[in-house]
Amino acid sequence: MISSKTIKKNLFQIYALTEKNIKLNLRFKYQVIISYITPILSILMPLIILEQFFQFSERFNFSVWNENNYLVFQFMAYQVLLLKRVIQEFPTQLRIEKFWKTLPIIIIAPFNRFNLLLGIFFTQLILISIPFIIFSILCYIYYPVSFLTVIFIIIIFFLIALIFSGIGLLIGIFAISNENVWKALSFIVSLIFWVSCVTYPFDIFPEFIQQIINLNPLYYIFDLLRLAWIYNDVLLTITLLSQNFIILIAFSIILPCLGVVIFNLIYKKYGIVGY
Amino acid sequence: MGLLDIKIMTDKIIETFDLSKIYQLKGRKKEIRALDDVNISINKGDIFGFLGPNGAGKTTMIQILTTILQPTSGYALIDGYNILKKPKKAKSKVSLMLESDMLYYRITAYDNLKFFCKIYNVSNYDQKIRDMTKAFGLEKWLNQYVEKFSSGMKMKLALLRTLLLDRDIMFLDEPTLGLDVKSKNFIIEILRDVKKTIFLTSHDMGVVEKLCNRVAFINNGKILKIGTKEDIQQLKQTEVKINLDIHFEKRKLKSELKNQDFINEIIDSKNGFLLELKGRDNYKDLLSILVKYDITGINEQKESLEESFLKII
């Protein structure tokens, strides 16, 4: 049984890590602002292509995506790409700690590695909150949904962020113990994102790529996220996309745990290498 | 539950048992034994100096004892807790200051200290930070970015952090490295008054002499000698090396010096000789000979602590 003292102690440590990380990030504010703009560039081209596509063939659609809702598709793509910062921030943060040599002091501190994960997780959620809320409002203006759906979408985003944290920690440990593996893993993540239909609808891809996309769990998760908005009915979404929902829940539990376990194993075996 | 899984009741606060660490060298089949069956024991309250040349294994030892690194074989007890079986318990006893300052340069000194106090669960940290920064003369710098600090101030801040964490054992790796005499003396005074066990590495004989009550010397991963403060004092009584510069009558002087029984060795150098006197007391005898010659330069070659240690071992 975990005592309230232990919970309080852990929350205090997560708060300390978050506070410190935010201060470090906001030391050079333009870096943060530019990181808000970069995902816009990623959705700009698909936005133009889809816009032109629907303009020339008004009756055509890609699955549920048509000229009336494709902006929601792209705005949510922006939010997912913004959330991707969580993955990137783990190796970045841990590498900074590696070169400042502050990591050993954190490692020997009496705290759980989950706190390290949650510290970076909350830092990024707070840092991306402003553009995230703006794009959520844009989605709402363009395609209004019920309050319950908004809550449901927020929960899905939260779980996606947890999945990304797990992936981030997994990559992050290699950023301090083996930078070759770190780069290779980062490339694999980019590849997985490319075949996750984050910026283009599934139907736009050729059949052989669609077969690969079907193997990608992220595709099901992002699909659930956007369809939840379009269906605007939580029960219907869960019923129709139960498989997607199970994948989301399973991965949001497995990946953070796996991240922590791998982090501990690799750190124990190799330690900090390369400075 | 094995015997090593529980806390061992002992009056020793640090004990190592055949502790070894092997590193594989890249591109070769050879391996380096950074630590080779190291056995040491340190009593509660000891200020223990761990000395050795660069690459001797000092930092590896600290990293293993603070659970940052895993030993290849052997184990250690930190206040009775096995570092392999009870790393969390062992960690809860230690605070660490490695060779570098280990600080976040992009946030203020106060934010640095506050962060470490929070993750180490230090209570009433705000008051403690203010009191200690005042004692360290850093109160005016508390809200400045660490990147603006001089090296000495960064080291002071790092030491202040280590003290704030209030652990039973402080591991300090070269805490006076690169500091001026005033800062060095300040840190010595602070550490002398700390009622804790200190495991300290340093190249500075003065620091070790003023602070440590026990000393171990390590080279190539092996403990060569463990001694008390008296052993350090003894080092001062060993031979004295003197560089002597002479323009004329070099041969005459050399032959005269060769006949003196207080001189161990004479080695020719570019401008004269390198002499080794048996002891500092023989200076008088030497000078009585040198006054007859046209000596252009004389200076004592100071031995490093490592050299002195290596000589007596």
Beta partners for residue B31, in sequence order: B24
Q: In this structure, is the dihedral angle defined by the CA atoms of residues A204, A205, A211 and A217, taken in order, positive or negative?
A: negative
Contacts of B63 (CB under 8 A, 6+ apart): A104, B69
Strands of the sheet containing B272-277, edge to edge, are: B263-268, B272-277, B240-246, B295-301
SS3 content of chain B, % helix, strand, coil (to 5): 35, 30, 35
Residues of B whose CB is below 8 A from A268: 70
Residue that has been written with the tokens 């080279």 in this structure: B219
Is residue B241 very low, low, confident or very high in pLDDT (cuts 50, 70, 90)? confident
Q: In this structure, is the dihedral angle defined by the CA atoms of residues B179, B184, B190 and B194, taken in order, positive or negative?
A: positive
Give the A:B interface size as CB pairs under 8 Å. 70
CA angle (B182 as vertex; B180, B188 as ends), nearest 5: 100
Kindly report the nearest CA distance between residue B151 and chain A, in angstroms: 14
Residue B36's CB is within 10 A of a number of other CB atoms, namely 18
Give dist(CA B67, CA B87) in Å, integer: 7
Model confidence over B148-186: pLDDT tens digits? Answer: 998 888 988 999 999 999 899 999 988 888 778 888 888
Structure token digits, residue A169: 């920690």
In degrees rounded to 5, what are phi and psi of residue B13? -90, -30
Say if CB B160 and CB B191 are below 8 A apart. no
Residue in B closest to A28 by C-alpha: B106
H helix or E strand, kind and range, residue B174:
none
**Averaged over B51-79, what is the pLDDT?**
89
The residue ranges of every structural domain in chain A are 4-270
Structure token digits, residue B191: 């550490």
Residue in A closest to B119 by C-alpha: A13
Give dist(CA A135, CA A153) in Å, integer: 13
Interface of B with A in 96-125 (CB under 8 A): 96, 98, 100, 102-107, 111, 114-116, 118-121
Q: Do B98 and A101 touch (CB under 8 A)?
A: yes
Q: What is the pLDDT along chain A (275 residues), one digit of tens a residue?
A: 678 888 888 899 999 999 999 999 998 889 899 999 999 999 999 999 888 888 887 667 787 788 888 899 999 999 999 999 999 999 999 988 888 888 888 888 888 888 989 999 999 999 999 999 999 999 999 999 999 999 999 999 999 999 999 999 999 999 988 888 889 999 999 999 999 999 999 988 999 999 999 999 999 999 999 999 999 999 999 999 999 999 999 999 999 999 999 998 888 877 777 66
Q: Pseudo-torsion of CA B50, B54, B55, B57, nearest 10°?
A: 0
pLDDT at B4 over 60: no
pLDDT at B97 over 80: yes
Q: How far is CA B67 from the centre of its chain?
A: 20
**Average pLDDT value for chain B:** 85
* Whether the complex's predicted ipTM surpasses the cut of 0.95: no
- Nearest CA to B103 out of B113, B95, B117 is that of B113
Interface of B with A in 132-151 (CB under 8 A): 145
Give dist(CA B194, CA B162) in Å, integer: 11
Separation of first and last alpha carbons in chain A: 41
**Which residue has better confidence, A259 or B54?**
A259
